[in-house]
């Protein structure tokens, strides 16, 4: 009898322990993906489009045998398993808040028909909850987590799988792919492997020097591949050596796993500040003026070139350089005094690599309300950050054409250049120095209220 392999965030055939476990039953596998309205409908068009592309790639790898079903997984996973006369459904564990609840509901529904839900592996090198302190509690700070994560270690990549793939019911077909105003990068397992190989060959050696320079092609841009499991982090880690650049890259993988662990421990932290004072007591701005400020930020019209370049890159590509993500997040929270949740939701709408754990906790780090948080009084200077990490101004000129006439680093300060505003670039919507002090004053008042 065949087993069902239910794909979710593991859209690949290689290094896939759950798929291997399904194939080990009798060599025949039903490869299933359920288009779940609970996840599909809230996703922005960018993530929807990328998912469709990734599913097409996986289907090609399966010679057209990917069984797509649309609707409630509780219904469709049970129906498919029963139609196949399967006694087991195989999955990689999902540690997200919704995914964990969904899997438990599917487990109970399958059990009512004598079918077992078998969990093998996860989307992480080390599953959330595995790395703990000596007393068994979770880490709240990244650095000791990273050291313990290294000590724990991880398994080598799983062996390739050989199986016969079958469809016991009619396929519902792909969901409709939204039209986007830009092209997405190639999706799928082969694209992920090729991108990783190219990065290793050309850019990894200089990663520690170039990763913070948004005008330079210095990062791996593997986030969307990791998001959908087109490549497993274990595959990447197996290729890393001990150079300084490789160590820095390994730490970036660990950040992703740390944030997944935090979300697993505190599922509410996807939308709730770990430091509750920032939700309960902090005087965030609201109303029409706040909405106007948010719109200026979201559309890249703040008058601060480095911020605007990042926000326009997001709208133009469905992606933003990580250094710039921190700067634009700081600007929203600490210059415009708007809650991090508004920015996190905007990112999840537009980012092709939008990952709930990394996004929510990256925002909380910048806002100063999360685990291992950057202190609230650490405020990124949008001009200083631009001059430091885009010293030639090339990044700004690439995404802000109104400033293309300004040479070098003058692109970061059009207010200091004769004719800086000649091509329609907006003036600054706030004064950074004044708003930085305002943010600090509000933080002091919040602390005093809880004293």
Catalytic residue list: 252, 255, 284, 322, 340, 363
d(CA 253, CA 236): 9
Length of the chain: 451
CB hemisphere CA count around 169 (13 angstroms): 21
Q: In this structure, what are the phi and psi dihedrals at residue 273, rounded to the nearest 5 degrees?
A: -65, 135
CB 95 within 8 A of CB 8: no
d(CA 86, CA 109): 14
d(CA 381, CA 376): 13
Pair of tokens at residue 270: 């996807």
- Is residue 7 helix, strand or coil? strand
d(CA 147, CA 425): 47
d(CA 392, CA 412): 10
Beta-carbon neighbour count of residue 182 at 10 Å?
Answer: 11
Q: What is the DSSP string of 284-342?
A: ---SHHHHHHHHHHHTT-SS-HHHHHHHHHHHHHS---HHHHHHHHHIIIIIS---HHH
- Residue listed under structure tokens 């019209």: 301
CB 66 within 8 A of CB 33: yes
C-beta contacts of 273-276 below 8 A and 24+ residues apart:
273/340, 273/364, 273/367, 273/369, 273/370, 274/364, 274/369, 274/370, 274/371, 274/373, 275/368, 275/369, 275/370, 275/373
CB 26 within 8 A of CB 5: no
Going from the C-alpha of 283 to that of each of 2, 135, 280, 314, 337, the distances in angstroms are 58, 37, 9, 28, 8
CB 215 within 8 A of CB 394: yes
């Amino acid at each position: 009898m065949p087993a069902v392999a239910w794909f979710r965030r593991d859209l690949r055939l290689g290094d896939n322990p759950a798929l291997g476990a399904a194939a080990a039953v009798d060599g025949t596998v039903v490869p299933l993906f359920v288009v779940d309205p609970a996840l599909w409908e809230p996703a922005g068009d960018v993530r929807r489009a990328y998912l469709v592309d990734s599913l097409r790639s996986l289907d090609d790898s399966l010679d057209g045998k990917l069984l797509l079903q649309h609707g409630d997984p509780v219904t469709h996973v049970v129906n498919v398993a029963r139609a196949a006369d399967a006694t087991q459904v195989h999955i990689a564990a999902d540690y997200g808040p919704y995914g964990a609840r969904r899997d438990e509901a599917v487990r109970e529904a399958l059990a009512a028909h004598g079918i077992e839900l078998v969990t093998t592996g996860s989307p992480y090198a080390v599953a959330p909850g595995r790395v703990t302190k000596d007393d068994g509690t979770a880490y709240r700070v990244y650095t000791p987590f990273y050291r313990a994560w290294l000590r724990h270690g991880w398994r080598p990549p799983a062996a390739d799988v050989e199986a016969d793939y079958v469809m016991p019911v009619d396929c519902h077909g792909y969901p409709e792919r939204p039209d986007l105003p830009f092209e997405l990068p190639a999706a799928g397992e082969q694209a992920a492997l090729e991108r990783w190989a190219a990065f290793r060959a050309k850019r990894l050696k200089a990663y520690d020097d170039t990763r913070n320079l948004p005008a330079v092609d210095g990062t791996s841009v593997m986030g969307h591949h990791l998001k959908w499991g087109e490549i497993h982090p274990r595959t990447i880690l197996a290729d890393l050596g001990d150079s300084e650049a490789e160590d820095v890259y390994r730490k970036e993988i660990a950040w992703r796993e740390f944030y997944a662990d935090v979300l697993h421990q505190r599922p509410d932290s996807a939308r709730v500040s770990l430091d509750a004072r920032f939700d309960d007591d902090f005087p965030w701005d609201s109303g029409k003026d706040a909405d106007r400020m948010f719109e200026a930020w979201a559309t890249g019209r703040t008058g601060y070139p480095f911020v605007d370049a990042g926000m326009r890159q997001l709208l133009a590509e469905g992606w933003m350089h990580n250094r710039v993500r921190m700067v634009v997040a700081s600007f929203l929270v600490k210059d415009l005094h708007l809650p991090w949740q508004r920015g996190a939701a905007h990112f999840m709408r537009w980012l092709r690599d939008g990952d709930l754990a990394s996004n929510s906790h990256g925002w909380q780090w910048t806002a100063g309300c999360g685990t291992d948080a950057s202190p609230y009084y650490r405020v990124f200077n949008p001009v200083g950050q631009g001059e430091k990490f885009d010293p030639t101004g090339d990044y700004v000129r690439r995404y802000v054409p109104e400033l293309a006439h300004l040479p070098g680093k003058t692109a970061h300060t059009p207010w200091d250049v004769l004719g800086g505003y000649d091509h329609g670039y907006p003036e600054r919507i706030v004064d950074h120095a004044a708003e930085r002090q305002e943010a600090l004053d509000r933080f002091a008042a919040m602390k005093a209220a809880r004293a």
